Every structure is written in structure tokens, then in C-alpha cells.
Amino acid sequence: MVRIKNRYIAVQIVPHTPVKTLRLNDHTVAKCLLKYVEKYYGVYALGILEHGFRVKYCNDRTKIAIIRCLHRGQRYLSSILPLITLIGDVRAKFRTLYVGATVIQCNKFIINHQRQFLDRMMGQTASAKERQDLFKRVMELDVDR
């Protein structure tokens, strides 16, 4: 048996000016990433990376995405993430949160991360309704779409 090793990179998309939703879906992000890989490393890296490359999850409200790629080509991708300033047609940057080997670990991390974010933001909201809204908005997660 040959085991295929994947890497799952959890990233946060930080827009230049704060917006509510990003209007990005998996396809736009994936296309944009592959375009940048080709721009910086050329067709060689694209060939290595393209097989097994997929944006597993992209939530444009919490602005978190999970990218899957093969273990071999991971460095080609992770090293250019900081150089990107334009995603689709939004001025934004990537912030690497976590690199894991399974999607479950990534999921765990994201839940933790969101919970921490929630703890910080909860203090600033006034009414209970707002708080509930915030909770729903922040913790909305379904990987198996």
C-alpha cells in the first residue's frame, strides 16, 4: 500500500479594508492560488502542485479557508502565500493559521481559534441578541459540504 500524504493549510483571508463578506468561493480562491504559483515558480511547480490540489473549504463570512495539497508540493504553496496581495478582485492577504496532516486536526484548530476570537469579541457587544448573532456568525462551520 502506498500512502498518499496530504497537507491541509488553514488560512485566514484578511481584507485590506474591513468588509462583512468577501464574495469568494472555493473555485475563485483555487484558481487565484494556482495562478500565483505559476507566476512565481513557473509550470514546474504548477505540475507538482496541481494534482491533489483543492480548496476544501472556504467560508466568506468567517474568512477562513482550508487548502489541500500534496505533501511534496506544500512548500511551493506555503512560501508564496505571504506574497499575495490580490485574491480574485479583492485586495487581501493570507494569514497562515495552521498546517496539518488531516482535515480533522485543521477543523479542531479552527474551532479553537474561533472560540478565542469569540471570547475577545463577546465583551464588546451590548445586547443578548447581538451576542447570539455573533456566536452564530463566528462558529458557523461545516467542512463536509
Partner 1 sequence: MEQTKGFYDFCIPYNNDDKVLRAILNELLELGYKTIAIDQSYDHSKKEAVKRGAEMFPEPYSIEHLRKEFSGKLTILQRITILYVDVNVSHAMTVSLNLRKFNLIAGQPKTDAALTHCCTSFNGDIITFDPVAGSRLLVNRKSYQIAVRRGMFFEIKYAPAISDSNNRKDMIKVAQNYFTKGKSKNIIISSGAAHEFQLRGPYDVANLSFIFGLSEDQGKNSIDRFCRQLFLRAESRRVGKTIMFVKSKGPVVFSDSEESAQEDEEMDAIATDMTDDTENSPENKRLKLA
Does position 112 interact with partner 1 (CB under 8 A)? The reply is no
Does position 83 interact with partner 1 (CB under 8 A)? The reply is yes
All three cell numbers of 4, joined, read 498518499
- Which CB atom, from 5 or from 27, has the smaller least distance to partner 1? 5
- Which CB atom, from 11 or from 58, has the smaller least distance to partner 1? 11
Q: Which residue has the cell 513557473?
A: 42
- Which CB atom, from 54 or from 75, has the smaller least distance to partner 1? 75
Q: How far is the CB of 116 from partner 1 (least distance, A)?
A: 12
Q: Which residue has the cell 505571504?
A: 82
d(CA 77, CA 41): 10
Tell me whether residue 73 is exposed, middle or buried, using C-beta atoms within 10 angstroms of its C-beta: 0 to 12, 13 to 18, 19 or more.
buried
Phi/psi of residue 109, each to 5°? -65, -45
Neighbours of 60 (CB within 10 A): 18
Does position 78 interact with partner 1 (CB under 8 A)? The reply is yes
Q: How far is the CB of 145 from partner 1 (least distance, A)?
A: 27
Interacting residues with partner 1 (CB under 8 A): 16, 40, 75, 78-83, 85, 91, 93-96
